[in-house]
Amino acid sequence: MNEEFSSRRTNLLFVVLTVINLFLLTTHLNVYIRFAKNILFYLLNPTTAVAGQALESTRNISQTLHEVLRVHQDNLSLVKDLQRYVYLDHDYQRMKDENARLHQLVNFPPTKMGNYVPARIVSREPASWFQWVVISKGSEDGITIDAPVLVWAGSRPAVLGRAVEIFAHSAKVVLITNTLCALPVQIKGIGEDGLLEGQNNAELRVNYLRAGGKIAIGDEVVTSPLSAVFPEGITVGYVRDITFSENDTLRIAAVRPLVNFNRLREVMVLTSRTGDRHE
């Protein structure tokens, strides 16, 4: 009985090894499987020729591992180069944007509104994001109290605020979005006056508009000739919505500022207005 079981097990093992052998002989496999195949051949037929094939497979595996490591190192080097190029491209775009802004400042026409001093925004607190900024020029540069502060928006100047605290080499600017800031404005095209007030956010409001006026959504809001601070006709923003006051006698316009308050970098401070008299 034991001899019969042993004979069956031997026959089964022979059949399995034969099937594996035929599979390895007839299948195109990679270097690692070929190595395993040669080792198995050597175990089944330990001859010098088969041993040589096994050793050759070992050398191929070593060469393949070397190529894998080299490719991996090349990939790491390429990743570093890509990161460096991405940084350089980001730096290039930043310098390009800065150059465009400075070019606009240089080409700002001083004869239209008066003389101006370019300055950089050097400080802006998150808690007062729509209320104040500090600029890099002060009294030593000709900045005075209530000096108008403008920015270049697209292809034209726009109202940002006015200087309220002056130091030797810096100044604090109250933004038009500050609730403490009020500015006489005019609806361009219809000549209707109103009072612009900040809301401590990215939206402005114009009060005291006539209930029967012709103001419409999309109208341009500009500085009024009644302003004692800003020259006439500088763009403030555009009407976004119109509502009535509580007693329906006046209308209120919600205004979207022309200035992008999340991209403030350089400003223009007017130091004298066209037509001002100098002794």
> How large is the average pLDDT for residues 36-49?
57
Worst-scoring range by mean pLDDT, 21-35, 107-121, 210-224, 227-241? 21-35
Most confident of 13-17, 30-34, 159-163: 159-163
Burial (CB < 10 A; 0-12, 13-18, 19+), residue 172, is middle
Stated pTM of the model: 0.62
State the pLDDT confidence band at 275, using cuts at 50, 70 and 90. very low
State the DSSP code for 265.
Answer: -
State the DSSP code for 24.
Answer: H
Per the CATH hierarchy, to which homologous superfamily does domain 115-270 belong?
A: Rod shape-determining protein MreC, domain 1 (2.40.10.340)
Most confident of 57-61, 85-89, 216-220: 216-220
**Cα–Cα distance, 50 to 211 (Å, whole number):** 102
Q: Has residue 33 got a pLDDT over 80? A: no
3-state secondary structure of 275: coil
**Cα–Cα distance, 198 to 206 (Å, whole number):** 9
223 near 162, Cβ under 8 Å? no
Closest CA to 207 of 198, 197, 199: 197
Q: Say how many C-beta atoms besides its own lie within 10 A of residue 154's C-beta.
A: 10
Angle at CA of residue 81, ends 78 and 83, nearest 5°: 110
What is 103-155 written as a DSSP string? HHHHT--HHHH--EEEEEEEE--GGGTTTEEEES--GGGT--TT-EEEEEETT
Most confident of 57-61, 71-75, 240-244: 240-244
Q: Where are the domains of the chain?
A: 1-107, 115-270
**Cα–Cα distance, 105 to 45 (Å, whole number):** 87
Q: Tell me, what's the pLDDT at 25?
A: 57
Q: What is the pLDDT of residues 90-137, one digit of tens each?
A: 776 766 666 666 566 555 554 455 688 989 999 999 999 999 999 999
**Cα–Cα distance, 21 to 7 (Å, whole number):** 21
| Helix boundaries (H) for 27-109 | 31-44, 48-106
Task: Please give the residue that has the higher pLDDT: either 3 or 75.
Answer: 75
Q: What is the mean pLDDT of the chain?
A: 80
Task: Please give the residue that has the higher pLDDT: either 279 or 98.
Answer: 98
3-state secondary structure of 163: strand
**Cα–Cα distance, 26 to 44 (Å, whole number):** 17
